[in-house]
Amino acid sequence: MLTNQSNQPASFNPFQLPDLAMNMVETFCAVVYRPVEVVIRPWHGTRYFSITVIFLSNLMMLFIPIFGAFATAVISMIPLVHIPIPVGMFSMASFARLYFLLSIIHGVRIFRLMIHPGKELYSFWEGQPLPLINLVPKSRSFWVTRIIIEPAMVFLAATLLGNAFIFQSGLVTYFQCAAMCGGMLHFVRWYRSWEEIRNSLDTANIAPLMAKLVDNTATESDLAPLHIAKLPDDLPESIRKRTALNIARAHSGDVKEQANG
């Protein structure tokens, strides 16, 4: 049973479903993209990756090579079925070994920063990109780099290395899927920051409409952007003020914060 911070049973709130779905998308994409980020963002902060993301990424990198080897062994035992041996120097198992080696190296670096927190300015920052990224046009934009440039370069590099028979097909497929997850991951994070700014602007723009609603001077065209019907003219002033206050709270996000609390 779900409970809130006061250990009381939490009631179901349908307005929280979009945020819940966005959190699930962000977590899934972060788990899939983390093995790539430890390579392309080697100076990430101590709290850039959450414990949940680290655990699930480690589990994924343990499971995928084992599952691939098991599936190949099972299919090879089927009569009259011949699976060609994957062509390429590096497989998913090779990248998994590199990932765990880098995780140990990053673990030592992060542990030293945790012991000496004064050496780190921003624990949530992902760090500077690789120097190669700076050669790409528009790379000075942080969000363009994170949403478009880095995922596109990962996708392109994996495809080229696969065509050159350096990466096996399974590893190429993973990098291509991880690149798409990386783009979506940082788009979600950009959207959250944009949403905070947009909510502030909407709240400022809603205030004059709420004043008109209380004074009973708001027309249907004035209230159309808020998808609100015009209140009855004979409505008592106290109820009119309370209605306007509830509408303002709903559009400013106070209702969502109260539900989360």
Instruction: Kindly report the three-state secondary structure assignment for every residue of the chain.
Output: CCECCCCCECCCCHHHHHHHHHHHHHHHHHHHHHHHHHHHCCCCCCCCCCHHHHHHHHHHHHHHHHHHHHHHHHHHCCCCCCCCCCCCCECHHHHHHHHHHHHHHHHHHHHHHHHCHHHCCCCCCCCCCCHHHHHCCCCCCHHHHHHHHHHHHHHHHHHHHHHCCCECHHHHHHHHHHHHHHHHHHHHHHHHHHHHHHHHHHHHHHHHHHHHHHHCCCCHHHHHHHCCCCCCCCCCHHHHHHHHHHHHHHHHCHHHHHHHC
pLDDT category, 13, cuts 50, 70, 90?
Answer: low
- Between 189 and 203, the more confident residue is 189
- CA-only gyration radius of the chain, Å: 26
- Number of other residues whose CB lies within 10 A of the CB of residue 42: 16
Give me the pLDDT at residue 74, please.
Answer: 67
Q: How far apart are CA 159 and CA 197, in angstroms?
A: 38
Beta-bridge mates of residue 9? 3
List Cβ neighbours of 82 (8 Å cut-off, separation of 6 or more): none
Flag the least confident range among 10-24, 111-125, 198-212. 10-24
User: Tokens in use for 58?
Assistant: 């480690």
Q: How far apart are CA 50 and CA 29, in angstroms?
A: 13
List Cβ neighbours of 68 (8 Å cut-off, separation of 6 or more): 92, 93, 170
Alpha carbons within 13 A on the beta-carbon side of 218: 24
With 60 as the cut, is the pLDDT of residue 256 above it?
Answer: no
| pTM as predicted | 0.79
What average pLDDT does the segment 34-49 reach?
Answer: 93
With pLDDT > 90 as the criterion, what percentage of the chain qualifies?
A: 44
- Between 75 and 201, the more confident residue is 201
pLDDT category, 81, cuts 50, 70, 90?
Answer: low
User: Tokens in use for 219?
Assistant: 């027309």
With pLDDT > 70 as the criterion, what percentage of the chain qualifies?
A: 84
Q: How far apart are CA 231 and CA 164, in angstroms?
A: 68
What average pLDDT does the segment 111-127 reach?
Answer: 90
- Find tokens 């019907």 and name the residue: 229
Q: Domain residue spans in the chain?
A: 14-198, 205-260
What region does 74 belong to: left with phi over 0, alpha with psi -120 to 50, or beta?
alpha
